Structure 1
């Protein structure tokens, strides 16, 4: 008998683990939550795609603006604790693989920077802190 395997019995070449594709994960209920998590699809590059992508990114951006103040000089200066809080909150609402965290947090970094830039332009028009606080946008806390 030959030691080589029959071509039909040979195992396929192992495929790489991919981050993308449809992440239609298993049961996502955590027992205490009455609202089921929303399932998302990710591209091979780790981008959220499909009908729910816009709403997801808007919600993610809202959480970042709510929990990460604009007074940090850069995204690198933002404490990991704040970033992790935002990630955990978005994961409470959506099914997200841990592998997607880096790519999605990079997108959130861009949103946070852009929002900070818009605020900066608006506040640079004012001469005093009192004037800035009076003209504070709705989504920004006056203390920030």
Structure 2
């Protein structure tokens, strides 16, 4: 029993960290409740009722739609670092990066860490902008 609780806790932590748990709590909870009910009915010798409960759980899972994922936390952090919207275009990102690097670069009195952080933020935001452009979103 302890192992099952630890496994469920680890799964919930992972789902929360990936941004999947909270927006899909009703979907996941309904399917899990139906699955647990089906297991309970199966263990008490009622396989037909267990099959009905499993079917209801599957129907709930399908009816609830696709999983929703929260926006990438790293993307939001990168956007805040460059002071641009998370859905900014490549030109805006490059302009904000150049402006920030003017003071953050080690030659301008900044630090290596600050310059690296800005460059990583730029790269992440540019990759996201390219992906949006390719998918048409």
Q: TM-score range by the shorter chain?
A: under 0.3
Greater share of residues in strand: 1
TM-score (norm 2): 0.27
Greater share of residues in helix: 2
* Greater RCO structure (CA 8 Å; 6+ sep): 1
TM-score (norm 1): 0.26
